[in-house]
């Protein structure tokens, strides 16, 4: 099974259980966001770091879920006790004899016999009076402990438990904390059922650790359960060096399938482990999770369960017991067991085993008995490592059969840069619990093996391996290319000096005991040079409470640590340099606002948003009024600047674009005819303007509110005249220009019910109030009052707050319009020549249709219109809306336009939707009856429906009465004018209604009256009646015709 394979059934298991598979999303390595500031700080990294060193003690122990193992933890892991130097493999600064020796300044160290006899679960099993092997205590800066089987991993209860029992972990934490020097603190902890990882840091080391992330991966039952797997921690040391610690427990078993499963377990741990993203020392933001392989130093330890391959377990067990017999006194408690095993070698029941062991004994020799050749030359001292009877010689003969070493060489596990220190200690598994050197004496008699290991990898060794694989792939590709050309032997190519086969060349079966001893220099991911040295690697042979012996490795890392004060100083200096360079090389413009923009009237600013250098304030804004402001944009930099207004940031439902709909921007120059493609890439608008250094341009901003929907929103405070314009400078910084206008309330967009409650003085009196009163006024006015403020009492039955029987604004507009049309008729009759033709004679829709207007200057008309509306809102006279050069005809046309705008803006209209639906049903029933009805009958039926809404009825009657009188007066004036003309009478133009001549009266004057009635009815039908919005196009056309007939009924007299 390859490391990429997934066991069957794994997908069907909930990923929320301990050690489950991670999500399907593929996390890639973190990609930094390249920033010039971070790059500048990185270039000066050596200015804010200082060299430091850290000693790390990595310990691993399978406690086999046995009670009392915590009693030994502090002694061996913190104080370095329980080491047999000749059997444990640890390099010690002080050498001593194990039997009968004394501590440096104390009594004799407890011997093995007494130690084994004394063993209980209530106290430490390490020998008494043992001073321990340095480094120990506060000589170590980081204690990293990996325990396996802190609970019974074979128990189904433990494997399916939905939570982690903190009891076992707390037991071991208490034990280790009791032995640590003062000030050490727990910086990382992770548990997965029986796996427990604890990391403690010295007081001066803990502040150096950042971005700590822990995780776990289960590889046990079904490939995800936590009875096997790993717990992992990632730490960043000194903001420069990534450390990863992996506590593993791989699959057990001595057969080939178990070996493959161990390899699979390891591959799963490597591929599925994910850490939280980090922000590194230079400000690069890593958004993706990190994995194993992204670190600078990785330490993997635990019960790997790799065994000795192809060796007779019984022979190995007895052979190694000869060394433990030689090390410890045979005359004591445990001598009989070893002696019996050795004597059994002579029995006839195991001839093959006896032969194999006799062969090895001829090389190693019986411990304590020199061979004949040694006796002959006893004066010659043989080095310990070269003595064929020594433990190291025995270990050297066994290590080539170690499965882990074989799998590493076969590139099946731990092969991509991992390395291990020299093994100079006895196998750590399996011992009889309570003994120092008695290997498994149970029925299984397991072969002793180095199941517990500590391996490590540096970033350099990982990169070297990756480079080697790449070279091999390229070499293989070249060989294939040469074979495709017909060159079977690579030596036939002149460019190849020799052939190399990595599988065949070299001594693949040898064991390099010096591997991992030399100091290694490593260039970290952040660009700093660190070093790592393996100082010691060995076991604690005299710990008796488990069937595994504890294992530890001591590393010394020299690294560069960030000094925050120095880093902050460098950061400020780099930022200052970048700002200066940026200001010199980037386009720079200065924006100045000019509050005095040519609006001579009412330039005072709103109290709510006073004018300042950073905002554009249009002051008080009225309906239809044009407000103007100016900006000056000057290129104050040293390079050309390309500018453009770009789309604003708007909320959902708001109008998009560079300006709001009520604002227009203009420059005093033409835009670039062909802007470069870079302008679009840099987010500039469609119109760009190029300013050379020292050049300036004027920008004019024109605000006008002439949309009645916007007026309604402004009146109701659901919209404001506030926005922010964005002036973008290509490759420069954006300028944000706040704009503000103070809206003055308008009567436009109101309902009839609200308008009749507006007091004398107009809607401006209600600024920041709602136009519906809470009680009737003692001096209520009726709409019969004149435009100058005539008085009349309102009906006593009016509801509270009613001021008028019809909207005062409507009354004033109709009264002024009728009066101005009368003046126009009179003035034209007095001053017009015989060849002059009045507009009402030429067009039957005058003065309510734009085609009939004599005044065609749109801008001047808009100025007059907003002044008329302002007079309506303030309850002022209309005289100020006109200039001396405005004729009565021009004034009448503007008043007519203002009246139609007012009527169209009303929310409910003079004839509401519900009223019109009732009226239309009445008209449809009359149409279906196909019975001729008189004008009086139609009018009576309509008035009956309109009477249900008395206020709207009165307003409608006021309007139609005014229109009827205008028609009569215009027809009368036209009749007298035609009598004086020598040519025949011609009918006027009819812009809104198309009628054949024969459908009109034969009397030209009456025909003119009919055309005016039809045109007026058609125009005011749209302004007065509010139809249903749900009608189809066909129904809408029919409904429009009925509306016109409805209005015409009240215009005909």
DSSP bridge pairs for 590:
634
According to DSSP, the β-strands at 551-562 and 529-539 are: antiparallel
And the tokens for 637?
A: 């930099």
Lowest mean pLDDT among 514-518, 643-647, 1015-1019: 514-518
DSSP bridge pairs for 197:
146, 190
Lowest mean pLDDT among 532-546, 765-779, 823-837, 924-938: 765-779
- The better pLDDT of the pair 31, 1025 is held by 1025
pLDDT > 50? residue 580: yes
Contact of 617 with 741, CB cutoff 8 Å: yes
pLDDT > 50? residue 833: yes
Lowest mean pLDDT among 82-86, 225-229, 458-462, 940-944: 82-86
Lowest mean pLDDT among 521-535, 974-988, 997-1011: 974-988
The closest of 161, 31, 90 to 552, measured between CA atoms, is: 90
* Overall average pLDDT of the 167-187 stretch: 95
**Distance (Å, rounded) from C-alpha 299 to C-alpha 188?**
15
pTM, to two decimals: 0.54
DSSP H helices in 662-762: 677-681, 708-715, 752-755
And the tokens for 676?
A: 């470069």
Scan for tokens 């599925």, then name that residue.
Answer: 272
Which are the contacts of 567, defined by CB distance < 8 A and separation ≥ 6?
41, 48, 281
According to DSSP, the β-strands at 735-743 and 616-621 are: parallel
For residue 739, the Cα-to-chain-centroid distance in whole angstroms is 31
pLDDT > 90? residue 743: yes
Lowest mean pLDDT among 27-31, 232-236, 972-976: 27-31
The closest of 217, 248, 225, 223 to 157, measured between CA atoms, is: 225
The closest of 895, 878, 863, 901 to 762, measured between CA atoms, is: 878
- The burial class, CB within 10 Å (0-12 / 13-18 / 19+), for 824 is buried
Predicted confidence at residue 225, as pLDDT, reads 86
Predicted confidence at residue 184, as pLDDT, reads 97
DSSP bridge pairs for 199:
144, 188
962: helix, strand or coil = helix
pLDDT > 60? residue 1047: yes
Confidence label for 973 from pLDDT (cuts 50, 70 and 90)? confident
Q: Is the CATH number of domain 587-743 2.60.40.10?
A: yes
- The better pLDDT of the pair 585, 753 is held by 753
- The better pLDDT of the pair 965, 783 is held by 965
Going from the C-alpha of 210 to that of each of 42, 253, 274, 707, 913, the distances in angstroms are 19, 39, 17, 60, 70
And the tokens for 623?
A: 């309906």
**Distance (Å, rounded) from C-alpha 834 to C-alpha 925?**
51
Confidence label for 557 from pLDDT (cuts 50, 70 and 90)? very high
- The C-alpha angle 737, 742, 746, rounded to 5 degrees, equals 140
Q: Architecture of domain 806-1051 in CATH?
A: Orthogonal Bundle (1.10)
DSSP H helices in 280-439: 313-327, 335-343, 351-364, 372-376, 391-398, 403-409
Which are the contacts of 467, defined by CB distance < 8 A and separation ≥ 6?
none
Shared fold status for 28-92+114-309+402-466+515-564 and 587-743 = no
Q: Whole-number mean pLDDT of the chain?
A: 81
Contact of 109 with 101, CB cutoff 8 Å: yes
The closest of 747, 725, 885, 736 to 812, measured between CA atoms, is: 747
> Taking the domain 28-92+114-309+402-466+515-564, which CATH number applies?
3.60.10.10
Going from the C-alpha of 771 to that of each of 720, 767, 775, the distances in angstroms are 19, 9, 12
**Distance (Å, rounded) from C-alpha 212 to C-alpha 242?**
10
Going from the C-alpha of 1003 to that of each of 965, 1000, 1008, the distances in angstroms are 20, 8, 9
And the tokens for 503?
A: 């599988």
According to DSSP, the β-strands at 209-218 and 229-237 are: antiparallel
For residue 431, the Cα-to-chain-centroid distance in whole angstroms is 54
Confidence label for 505 from pLDDT (cuts 50, 70 and 90)? low
Helix axes 888-905, 808-831, angle to 10 degrees: 160
- The C-alpha angle 810, 814, 817, rounded to 5 degrees, equals 140
pLDDT tens-place string over residues 44-67: 888 888 999 999 999 999 999 999
- The C-alpha angle 329, 335, 336, rounded to 5 degrees, equals 165
DSSP annotation of 716 reads T
- The C-alpha angle 326, 328, 330, rounded to 5 degrees, equals 80
pLDDT tens-place string over residues 132-160: 888 989 999 999 999 999 999 888 877 77
DSSP annotation of 552 reads E
pLDDT > 90? residue 28: no
pLDDT tens-place string over residues 367-414: 333 334 444 444 455 565 566 778 888 899 999 999 999 999 999 999
Tell me the domain boundaries of the chain. 28-92+114-309+402-466+515-564, 310-371+381-392, 587-743, 806-1051
Q: What share of the chain is helix, strand, coil (3-state, %, to 5)?
A: 35, 20, 45
Confidence label for 726 from pLDDT (cuts 50, 70 and 90)? very high
């Amino acid at each position: 099974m390859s490391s990429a394979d997934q066991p069957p059934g794994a997908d069907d298991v909930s990923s929320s259980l301990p050690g489950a598979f991670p999500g399907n999303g593929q996390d890639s390595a973190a990609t930094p966001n390249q920033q010039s500031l971070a790059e500048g700080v990185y270039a000066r990294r050596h200015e804010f770091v200082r060299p430091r060193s850290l000693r790390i003690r990595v310990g691993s122990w399978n406690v086999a879920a046995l009670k009392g193992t915590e009693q030994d933890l502090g002694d061996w892991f913190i104080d370095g006790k329980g080491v047999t130097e000749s059997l444990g493999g640890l390099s010690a600064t002080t050498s001593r004899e194990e039997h009968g020796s004394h501590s440096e300044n104390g009594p004799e160290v407890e011997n093995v016999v007494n130690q084994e006899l004394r063993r209980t679960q209530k106290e430490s099993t390490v020998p008494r009076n043992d001073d321990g092997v340095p480094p120990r205590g506060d000589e170590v800066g980081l204690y990293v402990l990996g325990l396996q089987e802190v609970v019974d991993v074979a128990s189904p209860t433990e494997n399916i438990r939905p939570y982690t029992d903190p009891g076992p972990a707390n037991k071991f934490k208490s034990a280790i904390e009791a032995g640590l020097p003062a000030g050490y603190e727990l910086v990382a902890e992770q548990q997965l059922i029986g796996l427990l990882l604890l990391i403690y840091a010295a007081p001066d080391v803990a502040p150096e650790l950042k971005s700590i992330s822990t995780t776990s991966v289960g590889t046990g039952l079904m490939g995800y359960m936590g009875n096997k797997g790993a717990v992992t921690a990632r730490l960043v040391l000194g903001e420069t060096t990534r450390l990863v610690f992996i506590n593993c427990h791989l699959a057990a078993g001595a057969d080939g399938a178990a070996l493959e499963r161990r390899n699979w377990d390891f591959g799963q741990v490597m591929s599925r482990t994910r850490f939280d993203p980090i922000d590194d020392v230079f400000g690069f933001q890593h958004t993706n999770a990190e994995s194993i392989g992204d670190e600078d130093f990785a330490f993997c330890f635990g019960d790997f369960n790799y065994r000795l391959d192809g060796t007779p377990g019984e022979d190995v067990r007895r052979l190694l017991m000869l060394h433990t017999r030689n090390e410890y006194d045979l005359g004591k408690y445990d001598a009989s067991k070893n002696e019996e095993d050795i004597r059994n070698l002579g029995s006839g029941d195991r001839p093959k085993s006896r032969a194999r062991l006799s062969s090895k004994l001829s090389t190693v020799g019986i411990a304590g008995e020199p061979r004949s050749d040694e006796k002959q030359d006893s004066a010659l001292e043989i080095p310990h490592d070269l003595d064929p009877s020594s433990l190291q010689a025995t270990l050297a003969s066994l290590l080539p059969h170690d499965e882990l070493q074989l799998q590493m060489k076969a590139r099946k596990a731990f092969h991509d840069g991992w390395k291990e220190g020299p093994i100079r200690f006895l196998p750590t598994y399996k011992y009889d619990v309570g003994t120092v050197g008695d290997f498994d004496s149970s029925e299984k008699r397991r072969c002793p093996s180095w199941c517990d290991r500590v391996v490590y990898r540096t970033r350099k060794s990982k990169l070297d391996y990756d480079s080697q694989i790449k070279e091999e792939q390229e070499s293989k590709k070249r060989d294939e290319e040469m074979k495709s050309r017909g060159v079977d032997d690579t030596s036939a190519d002149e460019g190849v000096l020799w052939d190399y086969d990595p599988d065949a060349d070299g001594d693949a079966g040898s064991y390099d005991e010096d591997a991992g001893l030399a100091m290694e220099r490593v260039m970290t991911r952040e660009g700093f040079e660190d070093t790592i040295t393996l100082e010691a690697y060995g076991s604690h042979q005299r710990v008796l409470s488990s069937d595994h012996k504890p294992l530890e490795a001591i590393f010394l890392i020299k690294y560069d640590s960030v000094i925050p004060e120095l880093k902050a100083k460098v950061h400020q200096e780099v930022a200052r340099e970048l700002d200066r360079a940026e200001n010199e090389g980037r386009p720079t413009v200065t924006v100045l606002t000019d509050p005095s923009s040519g609006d001579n009237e009412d330039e005072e600013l709103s109290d709510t948003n006073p004018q300042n250098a950073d905002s554009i304030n249009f002051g008080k804004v009225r309906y239809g009024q044009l407000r103007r402001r100016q900006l000056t944009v000057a290129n104050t930099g040293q390079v050309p600047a390309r500018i453009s207004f770009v789309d604003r940031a708007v909320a959902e439902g708001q109008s998009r674009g560079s300006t709001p709909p009520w604002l227009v921007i203009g420059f005093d120059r033409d835009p670039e005819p062909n802007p470069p493609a870079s302008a679009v890439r840099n987010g500039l608008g469609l119109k760009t303007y190029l300013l050379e250094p020292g050049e300036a341009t004027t920008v004019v901003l024109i605000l006008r509110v002439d949309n009645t929907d916007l007026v309604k929103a402004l009146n109701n405070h659901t919209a404001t005249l506030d926005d922010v314009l964005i002036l973008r400078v290509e490759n420069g910084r954006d300028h944000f220009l706040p704009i503000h206008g103070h809206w003055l309330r308008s009567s436009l967009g109101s309902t009839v019910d609200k308008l009749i409650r507006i007091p004398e003085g107009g809607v401006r009196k209600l600024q920041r109030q709602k136009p519906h009163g809470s009680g009737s006024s003692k001096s209520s006015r009726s709409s019969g009052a004149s435009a100058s403020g005539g008085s009349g009492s309102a009906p006593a039955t009016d509801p509270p707050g009613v001021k008028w029987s019809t909207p005062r604004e409507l009354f004033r507009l109709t009264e002024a319009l009728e009066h101005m049309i009368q003046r126009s008729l009179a003035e034209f009759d007095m001053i017009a020549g015989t060849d002059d033709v009045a507009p009402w004679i030429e067009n039957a829709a005058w003065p309510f249709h734009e085609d009939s207007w004599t005044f065609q200057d749109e801008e001047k008309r808009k100025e007059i219109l907003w002044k008329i509306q302002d007079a309506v809102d303030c309850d002022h006279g209309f005289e100020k809306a006109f200039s001396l050069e405005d004729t009565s005809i021009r004034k009448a046309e503007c008043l007519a336009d203002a009246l139609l705008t007012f009527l169209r803006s009303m929310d409910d209209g003079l004839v509401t939707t519900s009223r019109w639906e009732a009226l239309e049903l009445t008209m449809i029933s009359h149409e279906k009856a196909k019975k001729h009805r008189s004008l009086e009958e139609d009018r009576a039926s309509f008035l009956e429906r309109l009477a249900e809404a008395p206020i709207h009825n009165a307003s409608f009657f006021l309007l139609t009465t005014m229109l009827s009188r205008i028609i009569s007066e215009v027809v009368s004036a036209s009749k007298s004018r035609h009598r004086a003309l020598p040519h025949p009478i011609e009918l006027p133009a009819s812009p809104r209604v198309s009628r054949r001549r024969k459908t009109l009266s034969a009397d030209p004057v009456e025909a003119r009256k009919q055309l005016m009635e039809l045109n007026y009815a058609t125009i005011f039908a749209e302004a007065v009646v509010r139809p249903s919005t749900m009608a189809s196009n066909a129904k809408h056309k029919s409904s429009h015709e009925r509306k016109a007939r409805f209005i015409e009924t009240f215009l005909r007299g």
